[in-house]
A and B are shown apart, each in its own frame.
Chain A
Amino acid sequence: MDSLLKLDRCTIRFGGLTAVANFTMEVGRRELVGLIGPNGAGKTTVFNMVTGVYAPTEGHVLLGGEPLDGLKPYAITGKGIARTFQNVRLFISLSVLDNVKAAFNLHLKHGPMHALTRGRAFLNEEHEIENRTLELLKIFNLDRHRDAMCRSLPYGDQRRLEIVRALATQPKLLLLDEPAAGMNPTEKSNLMRLIEFVQETFDISVLLVEHDMRVVMGICKRIYVLDHGIKIAEGTPEEIRRDPKVIEAYLGEGPGEKE
């Protein structure tokens, strides 16, 4: 596996509480990897470590071999990691178009001074960004909503928009935080197709945190399982399905979770 992201024995402690302990994980180039575990297992905390919201107390996060230690979130995005959020966090006062355009800020060649002089080069770049945004929206069937306020979109469309926005940062790795939350079975199937489509078309790696087993088992090539901050299993979907430790961790959750 050509490794892209590596978490090397990462531990994170908040005060007296150890949220994640000694966690090692790898995501290869063009791989679709899943991270699952019961509620409170520490999945979102792992995400936050990768994206720089929290710094690991011990251990390192490496992207393409390069450590991301101490980098602020916006810098990590600059290195090629983008994410979506558990509760969709779109820019509520902006339109659909502007939400995606905002993500192009990262690779902007022109700064505030150019915005004031409004020269040829500046206008050209603005034009180009507009075109690329529309292209992206079109791929995901959101271009007809381009000027609508993003908050007026139905929930499923908002989630899609968030993914589009993340893709606009031109990432090498996309982190999806429970994208299927709140969706009905049809929507979930569509989402699964969408994620696979994204991974192939944009030639990127995807790390998926998800509760719904069907979704995870359906599209991920490899899966990591977290419980109370500790890795209890890793492997292919078939291996995970049969792993007694995983079954035990989820049995405590109640009926319906194992599939």
Chain B
Amino acid sequence: MDRLIEIVQQLVNGVSLGSIYALIALGYTMVYGVLRFINFAHGDIYMLGAYSGYLLAPFFSHFFKFGQFDTFTPQNTLFILSGAGLVMVFSMAICAVIGVLIERIAYRPLRQRPRLNVLITAIGVSLFLQNITQYRLGADPKAFPQLIPVHVVEGLGNLTILTSQLAIILATILLLIVLRLIVMRTKMGLAMRALSLNPTACSIMGVNNDVVISFTFALGSALAAAAGILVSMDSPSINPLMGNLPGIKAFVAAVLGGIGNIPGAALGGLIIGILETLVVAIGFPQWRDGIAFAVLIVILLFKPTGILGKVEREKV
């Protein structure tokens, strides 16, 4: 029985971690889908999401009494969640705008240029974002304000699941549902899917490719920002370089699931999160970062198109 509890425990930990990776991975995969371009700077949007929350929270802190609640009670849950949710939504909006701006300024002018150039530009943007944050806000870690009370969820017996982990998982599920609705049920979502299949046909059919691409960036950035907020609720120390490692792991997740494939990104994120948790659980914590790279190499060597991806042949 203990074994079972242990397994479920690790699974929950893994899913919680994997949800973060999934949210970031979705941004990578959507942008790759419509532009065939790996946005190296995406991990730093996640960081900016956390910092947006950090800078925004003080404005709402008085009204929503951040940090003043010790536990969730049936009376205060809605209030707490709306406070946290509001900060998250605003951060998502800010990062969506940033994402669109980056695309406009740094990537759009290079759309007809060699893909190598825009890859380098993305690296440049990533370095810029990290260092300008470091310059203006300091390189030292900052303490993220406590938006929700963090404690063990009651009523689960020996399972130690934190409210923050539960929040991550539930929020991710919610965001995934919303994303699915947008992609499958709206015109914009249809345009995104069409654009990823054939851009020329799209513009001929009257789709404004630029608008769809901007929308994709906005969507991806919002999700990354959400991830940044959620992870900061769980581990409240933020720093300007926090986007690097999760960024690359999320990218591996996107490749694992099949780059360009939206369900694939979510799946990949979960797998990476669970694998990472397992590696630590079985006693090799020093390899937790390495496991993602190992997965990357294996995938690239044996099935570069990923679990759910499709092969694209070059026409000779």
Contact = CB atoms under 8 A, between A and B. Distances in A.
Contacts of A48: 316
Nearest to B315: A44
A44 B316 CA distance: 8
Contacts of A85: 316
A53 B313 CA distance: 12
Interface residues of B, number: 2
Nearest to A14: B313
A258 B316 CA distance: 27
A44 B313 CA distance: 15
B interface, over-half SS: loop
A90 to B, nearest CB: 15
A interface, over-half SS: mixed
Contacts of A14: 313
A86 B313 CA distance: 17
Nearest to B310: A15
B29 to A, nearest CB: 23
Interface in A80-130: 85
Contacts of B313: 14
Nearest to B314: A53
A137 B316 CA distance: 27
A85 B314 CA distance: 14
A25 B313 CA distance: 26
B9 to A, nearest CB: 44
Interface in B301-316: 313, 316
Contacts of A44: 316
A47 to B, nearest CB: 8
Interface in B267-316: 313, 316
A69 B316 CA distance: 20
Contacts of B316: 44, 48, 53, 85
Interface in A19-45: 44
B314 to A, nearest CB: 10
A73 to B, nearest CB: 10
Nearest to B313: A14
Interface string A42-57: 0010001000010000
A53 B316 CA distance: 8
Interface string B93-113: 000000000000000000000
5 contacts: A14-B313, A44-B316, A48-B316, A53-B316, A85-B316
